[in-house]
Amino acid sequence: MAGITDSVEAPEPRGEGAEGGRRGRRAKRGPLGRLALFYRQVVAELRKVVWPTRHQLTTYTVAVIVFVLVMIGILTVLDWGFGRVIEYVFG
């Protein structure tokens, strides 16, 4: 195994490139500068979001409500059934 790790060389450290300089400037910002940067990044990411139309939102909402009601019904029947079984067994 030692021969395998000996043949792999570590990458050369980069000079002051695009990333190196950016990290330096980012580190020098104060708390308000970092907060403003965070806010700008959040707004930029939210602009990339594909928001659902009103029709899609209504469809998704109805689907979730129907699913929840079906699950409530299933769990209610199971709870009632297990309650009857326990009552029969332990009397």
Per-residue model confidence as pLDDT tens digits over 35-77: 999 999 999 999 999 999 999 999 999 999 999 999 999 999 9
Q: What is the pTM of this model?
A: 0.52
> d(Cα 79, Cα 72) in Å, to the nearest integer?
10
Q: Which domain holds residue 40?
A: 18-49
Looking at the fold, whether 62 and 90 belong to one and the same domain comes out as yes
User: In terms of domains, do 45 and 60 share one?
Assistant: no
41/75 same-domain check: no
Written as six digits, the tokens of 66 are 């129907």
For residues 52 and 60, is the Cβ–Cβ distance under 8 A?
A: yes
Residue 91 domain-assigned (yes or no): yes
Q: How far apart are CA 55 and CA 70, in angstroms?
A: 23
Residues 33 and 57 in one domain: no
Is 2 part of any domain? no
Q: How far apart are CA 25 and CA 29, in angstroms?
A: 7
Number of domains observed in the structure of the chain:
2
Residue 32 within a domain? yes
Cα angle for residues 27, 28, 33 (degrees, 5° grid): 95
